Every structure is written in structure tokens, then in C-alpha cells.
Amino acid sequence: MTAVSPFRRRRGSTATAIVFGGLLVIGAALGTASSIGDDTTHRRERAAALVAELALSDVALFTEARYTRNPSLADLHTPFQDGPASLEHFPTASLTVAPRALPAGRLEAGEE
């Protein structure tokens, strides 16, 4: 009589339960591991305190051009600062959007 591996005889549903259960446990373990020693609340409080102290305005993610460093304080002309027809050339500009809430003037045409 040949020895049969215990895995061979396992029913498909049991194997499924083991695999999925195992993956869920791994997922839960990773989730817990990433939150152990996680100091989010304090870290954010410290950062928020610095923002309040220095009166900071924008996120320092894209530092390469002034309108990507402080998008909320930039104006629509900055990307074309070198001339009205010059093309914007910073890569992150394709990742940022134009600021909203700019002071708006008006242009109207008509007869005198």
C-alpha cells in the first residue's frame, strides 16, 4: 500500500477554506503590523502645530516650480511666465490643476 499524502485526500472545499482563511489571516496580520507603533494621531498633531505656527499654506509634494509648490496661491499666468506663447514645460504640471477662485474681471463688446 502506498502512502497517500494528507493533502491529496483533502476535499476541495476544505482546501479552499484553508487557502482563503490563510490569506485573510495574512491580511489581518499585515494590517495589524502596519498599525503597531503607528503614531498617526501624534504625528499629525505635531505637523498641524507646525502648520499653525508658521502659517503654512500648501503641501510640499511638488517643489520644482512655484505654481506646483503652492498651487492655491499661484495664478493662471505663472505656468506661462516666460511669455504669453511660451509652452509650459514642468512634468508635474501635467499632474496638477489650475487654481480656482481667481479674481475675475470681465470683457464686454458692444456699440458705444
Partner 1 sequence: MRAAFERRRHLLDFAVRSLARRPTKNLGLVAVYALVVFLVGSVMLYGAAIRREAAAMLASGPELTAQAMVMGRHEMSRTADVAALKGLRGVRRIEPRLWGYLWDSAGAANYTLMVPPASDTAHTLAKGEAIVGEGVARARKLAPGKMLFLVSPSGKFLKTRVKAILSPDSALVSSDLVLVEEGDFRAFFELAPDVWTDIAVTVTNPREVTTVAEKAALKLPGHRFVTRADMSRTAEALFSWREGLTLALIAGALLAFAILAFDKASGLSAEEKREIGILKAIGWESRDVIAAKLFEGGLISGLAFLLGVIGAWTHVFFFSAGLFEPVLKGWATLYPRFPLAPTLDALEMATLAMLTVLPYMAAILVPVWRTASADPDAVMR
Q: Interface residues with partner 1 (CB under 8 A)? A: 11-13, 15-16, 19-20, 23-24, 26-27, 30-31, 34-35, 38, 40, 43-44, 46-66, 68-69, 71-78, 90-92, 94-97, 99-103
For residues 100 and 92, give the distance between their C-alpha atoms in angstroms, rounded to a whole number.
Answer: 18
Contact (CB, 8 A) for 76 and 99: yes
Closer to partner 1 by CB, 7 or 108: give it. 7
Rounded to a whole number of angstroms, the minimum distance from the CB of residue 21 to partner 1 is 11
Rounded to a whole number of angstroms, the minimum distance from the CB of residue 28 to partner 1 is 10
Closer to partner 1 by CB, 3 or 36: give it. 36
Closer to partner 1 by CB, 47 or 112: give it. 47
What is the sign, positive or negative, of the torsion defined by CA atoms of 87, 91, 93, 95?
A: positive
Rounded to a whole number of angstroms, the minimum distance from the CB of residue 44 to partner 1 is 5
CA proximity to 79, closest of 60, 6, 26, 87: 87
Closer to partner 1 by CB, 84 or 110: give it. 84
Q: Which residues of 7-19 are buried (b: 16+ CB within 10 A; e: fewer)?
A: eeeeeeeeeeeee
DSSP run (H or E) holding 17:
helix 12-35
